[in-house]
Amino acid sequence: MPPLTRWFIKSALAYFIAALVVGVLLAARSVVSLPPIVGALRPAYFHLLMVGWVTQLIFGMAYWMFPKSTKDQPRGSERLGWLAYSLLNIGLLLRVITEPLLTVHSTPLLGWALAASAVLQWLAGMGFVINTWSRVKEK
């Protein structure tokens, strides 16, 4: 298993655990008094689950399992793969931090940080698609 795949999958597992913790906190709000920011974690919960867990697991498995591209670069550009991994995780972490804060305390800087997180995740997705596109082919 390539190192990039291991990083995608281990990160996915970590985000899955984080999503479960946030999910428990959100559910606990009905029986325990928690700070208002906990209620603002709902979008972060969905992003941890769908981008952190599902998307990273898919990216990692696709990078590993899709048909070989060329003999020299069987999985496409390793550099582009690592760039996609980095951008996805930086964007996701930025979103998980800024979105709840923006809900509780709206400032222009947090708004720009949230927009930047979306751009980083979009760039990661495009990098993944560009790196994977040539590997989706007929035999």
Cβ 80 vs Cβ 13: under 8 Å: no
Q: From CA 84, how far away is CA 72, in angstroms rounded?
A: 20
**Structure-block tokens of residue 30:** 């009905």
Q: From CA 47, how far away is CA 87, in angstroms rounded?
A: 15
φ/ψ (deg, to 5) at 2: -65, 150
pLDDT per residue, tens digit, the chain (139 aa), is 999 999 999 999 999 999 999 999 999 998 999 888 888 999 999 999 999 999 999 999 999 888 787 788 888 889 999 999 999 999 999 999 999 999 888 899 999 999 999 999 999 999 999 999 888 877 6
Cβ 88 vs Cβ 124: under 8 Å: yes
- Look at the pTM and tell me if it is higher than 0.95: no
φ/ψ (deg, to 5) at 76: 80, -155
Residues in Cβ contact with 33 at an 8 Å cutoff, skipping those fewer than 6 apart: none
